[in-house]
């Protein structure tokens, strides 16, 4: 039976890798207690600092083909509750749930004294670790905090050093994706003494504009502001950046669009030691962790993995620079007639958007007219045109298989057998 027990940065132990990310679901003790009762392994408390005043409304979303909240945008800031209340609740939760991880997310003014004070008070309340919020892309960045720090490697390193001067628990630096290259800041965090990284924070966004009022969403008394984008839509960006920072060599807590156990497994395959979720529990509630635990355990049993460390990072060697990919690898599309429904989507996509190698031949004359059925007999099937792949012209781009609505109707078959591998770098040498 798979064991999901997690040891983050060799010090933070919890029953599984699923943590609530710092945000609305981890705003107070009542929520974190209910999450732990549901099975969550840890929680990163909503960011502590000088309490702010939030606006109303705060959220907007992007829906896709009937799926609600494919992407979620928020303009909510850090905690609006006093530091004293939050610390008292952290202490209460840790006493009741000593085996679960409670991480304090922190954000204060960029002075050594302010950081020393909040670190000491957070650890005094029993926090298992600290997450430095260098990623918030709105509101707080206008005050010289959040991504205003995370976009400048020198600031990131300097504040991390201040924290490490007094911290006794592991220090995680939460990175912003709103940057040209995330790696320099990740290296700066390591230089400052960070024990781990959290990535990614939310992405700058405006999700849409009301075409009647002309006000972007969310509407705050006729005005709006850019916010932080999260949810399933950002997962590909998060996976890329997780892979990028793997070179730093620090433990990583992965964040960004995780909605189910499959997503979590992908983040772990790229090296993550824990997984943080925010949008998914906001959408579906805390009980989703039950399916994530069962799903990940079942998959691990199927693959023969006993612990998370058995498969953590296995995908990293498979990510290469483009110049190192095999130029002689060749696949072509194969359409399986018995599964084809004659929708012609593959033909349209290939003809208009790809390489014009799928054709639809006319039906033979004897099949062009559907017989009129007898009133007392079965209705004969209407003949359909089966698209045909010109194998000489097919470049193996996959587009036809991606748009086909029938699973495995179009498969990609390898045809380069016996041809030696050769990369662009080798060919250019």
Residue spans per domain, the chain? 6-318, 322-428
pLDDT at 231: 97
Q: What is the pLDDT of residue 384?
A: 80
What pLDDT sits at residue 252?
Answer: 98
What pLDDT, on the 0 to 100 scale, is given for residue 362?
82
Distance CA 81, CA 420 (A): 63
What is the pLDDT, as a whole number, of residue 207? Answer: 96
- Note the pTM of the prediction, 2 decimals: 0.94
The predicted pLDDT at position 364 comes to 66
Query: Tokens 């004897």 identify what position?
Result: 366
How does the average pLDDT of the chain come out, rounded?
Answer: 95
pLDDT tens string for the chain (429 positions)? 899 999 999 999 999 999 999 999 999 999 999 999 999 999 999 999 998 999 999 999 999 988 899 999 999 999 999 999 999 999 999 999 999 999 999 999 999 999 999 999 999 999 999 999 999 999 899 899 999 999 999 999 999 999 999 999 999 999 999 999 999 999 999 999 999 999 999 999 999 999 999 999 999 999 999 999 999 999 999 999 999 999 999 999 999 999 999 999 999 999 999 999 999 999 999 999 999 999 999 999 999 999 999 999 999 999 999 999 999 999 999 999 999 999 999 999 999 999 999 999 887 665 544 555 555 655 555 678 899 999 999 999 999 999 999 999 999 999 999 899 999 999 998
Yes or no: say if 300 and 367 are a contact pair by the CB < 8 Å rule: no
Residue 139 and residue 332: Cα distance in Å, rounded?
50
In tens, the pLDDT along 403-416 reads 999 999 999 999 99
The answer, yes or no, to whether the previous bond of 82 is cis (omega within 30 of 0) is no
Identify the H or E element spanning 34. helix 29-38
| Cβ-proximal residues to 409 (8 Å cutoff; 6+ apart), any chain | 335, 336, 339, 340, 341
Q: What per-residue confidence (pLDDT) applies to 139?
A: 87
94: how many CB neighbours lie within 10 A of its CB? 17
Q: What's the confidence (pLDDT) of residue 383?
A: 72
Question: Could you tell me which of 250, 228, 252, 232 has the C-alpha nearest to residue 242?
Answer: 252
pLDDT of 385 reads: 86
Of the candidates 14, 28, 136, 357, the residue annotated as catalytic is: 136
How does pLDDT run across 98-142, given as a tens digit for each residue? 999 999 999 999 999 999 999 999 999 999 999 999 999 998 998
d(CA 346, CA 417): 26
Class of domain 322-428: alpha beta
pLDDT score, position 283:
97
- Taking domain 6-318, whether its CATH number is 3.20.20.70 is answered by yes
Q: How much is the pLDDT for 382?
A: 64
Q: Is 156 part of the annotated catalytic residue set? A: no
């Amino acid at each position: 039976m798979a064991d999901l027990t997690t040891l983050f940065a060799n010090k933070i132990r919890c029953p599984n890798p699923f943590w609530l990310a710092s945000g609305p679901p981890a705003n107070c003790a009542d929520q974190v207690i209910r999450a732990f009762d549901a099975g969550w392994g840890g929680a990163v408390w909503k960011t502590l600092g000088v309490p702010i005043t939030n606006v109303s409304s705060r959220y907007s979303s992007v829906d896709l083909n009937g799926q609600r909240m494919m992407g979620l945008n928020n303009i909510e800031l850090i905690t609006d509750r006093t530091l004293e209340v939050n610390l008292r609740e952290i202490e209460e939760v840790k006493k009741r749930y000593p085996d679960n991880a409670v991480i304090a997310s922190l954000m204060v003014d960029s002075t050594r004294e302010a950081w020393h004070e909040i670190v000491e008070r957070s650890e005094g309340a029993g926090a298992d670790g600290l997450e430095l919020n260098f990623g918030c892309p709105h509101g707080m960045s206008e005050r010289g905090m959040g991504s205003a720090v995370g976009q400048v490697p020198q600031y990131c390193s300097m504040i991390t050093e201040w924290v490490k001067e007094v911290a006794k628990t592991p220090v995680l630096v939460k990175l912003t994706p709103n940057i040209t290259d995330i790696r320099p800041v990740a290296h700066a965090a390591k230089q400052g003494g960070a024990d781990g990284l959290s990535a990614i924070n939310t992405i700058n966004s405006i999700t849409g504009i009301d075409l009647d009022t002309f006000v972007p969403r969310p509407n705050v008394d006729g005005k709006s502001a850019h916010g932080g984008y999260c949810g399933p839509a950002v997962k590909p960006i998060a996976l890329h950046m997780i892979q990028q920072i793997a070179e730093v060599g620090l433990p990583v807590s992965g964040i960004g669009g995780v909605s189910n156990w499959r997503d979590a497994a992908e983040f772990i395959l790229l090296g993550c030691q824990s997984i943080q979720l925010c949008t998914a529990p906001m959408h579906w509630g805390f009980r989703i962790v039950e399916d994530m635990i069962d799903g990940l355990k079942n998959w691990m049993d199927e693959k023969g993995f006993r612990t998370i460390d058995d498969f953590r990072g296995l995908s990293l060697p498979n990510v290469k620079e483009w110049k190192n990919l095999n130029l002689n690898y060749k696949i072509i599309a194969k359409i399986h007639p018995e599964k084809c429904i004659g929708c012609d989507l593959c033909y349209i996509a290939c003809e208009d958007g790809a390489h014009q190698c799928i054709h639809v031949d006319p039906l033979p004359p004897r099949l062009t007219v559907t017989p009129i059925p007898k009133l007392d007999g079965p209705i004969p099937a209407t003949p359909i045109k089966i698209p045909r792949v010109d194998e000489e012209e097919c470049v193996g781009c996959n587009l036809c298989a991606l748009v086909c609505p029938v699973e495995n109707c179009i498969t990609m078959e390898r045809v380069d057998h016996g041809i030696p591998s050769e990369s662009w770098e080798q060919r250019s040498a």
